[in-house]
């Protein structure tokens, strides 16, 4: 899929006079090049743990050197301050506000061009209690779900 996206992007750039060479490489070479900041551009993806998100590894300036994971060498003082503060904040509302500001900083600076975000809706019936929803693993705590006796429609023998 990434190679197909790269080809589409190459073709679109060509329309405005920018020559892009798509060069598929082995995963091990990609990792080595990324850690060594040896690329002009790359197409990648990652999944971020939603609660609480920790963007230190990807966006903090201290992760540029020594083969850290800030592959694009993003260096922004305000982003660093926010990332550090977010890691220490336990108040969900305050952390959410800081994350929104960090998102604005990253959006304005464009260290990455985000192509899409997968949205996977998940639903459960209002009768079901004890659900603690976690998007990467929606049923991770299914053993804690229950339906109050008066709302049960099905019974299974014990």
Cβ atoms of 2 and 25 within 8 Å: the answer is no
Neighbours of 156 (CB within 10 A): 4
- The string of pLDDT tens digits covering residues 58-100 is 999 999 988 789 999 999 999 999 999 999 999 989 999 999 9
Tokens matching residue 21: 């060479």
Q: Is the pLDDT of residue 50 over 70?
A: no
More confident residue, 75 or 144: 75
For tokens 């900083």, the residue is 105
pLDDT given for residue 132 in this prediction: 81
pLDDT given for residue 97 in this prediction: 96
Q: Is the pLDDT of residue 105 over 90?
A: yes
pLDDT given for residue 56 in this prediction: 94
- CB-facing half-sphere around the CA of 1: CA atoms within 13 A: 2
Residue 52 preceded by cis peptide, ω within 30? yes
- C-alpha torsion sign, points 85, 87, 92, 95: positive
Report DSSP letters for 113-137, one per residue.
-------------TT-B-----TTS
Domain ranges, ordered by start, for the chain: 1-44, 48-118, 121-158
Q: Is the pLDDT of residue 130 over 80?
A: yes
């Amino acid at each position: 899929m990434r190679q197909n996206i790269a080809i589409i992007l190459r073709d679109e750039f060509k329309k405005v006079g920018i020559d892009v060479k798509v060069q598929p490489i082995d995963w091990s070479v990609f990792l080595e090049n990324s850690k060594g900041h040896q690329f002009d551009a790359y197409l990648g993806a990652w999944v971020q743990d939603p609660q609480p998100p920790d963007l230190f590894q990807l966006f903090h300036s201290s992760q540029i050197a020594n083969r850290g994971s800030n592959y694009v060498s993003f260096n922004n003082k305000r982003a660093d301050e926010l990332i550090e503060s977010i890691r220490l904040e336990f108040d969900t509302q305050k952390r959410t506000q800081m994350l929104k500001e960090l998102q604005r900083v990253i959006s304005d600076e464009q260290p990455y061009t985000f192509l899409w975000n997968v949205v996977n809706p998940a639903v459960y019936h209002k009768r079901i209690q004890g659900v603690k929803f976690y998007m990467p693993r929606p049923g991770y705590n299914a053993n804690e779900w229950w339906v109050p006796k008066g709302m049960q429609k099905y019974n299974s023998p014990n």
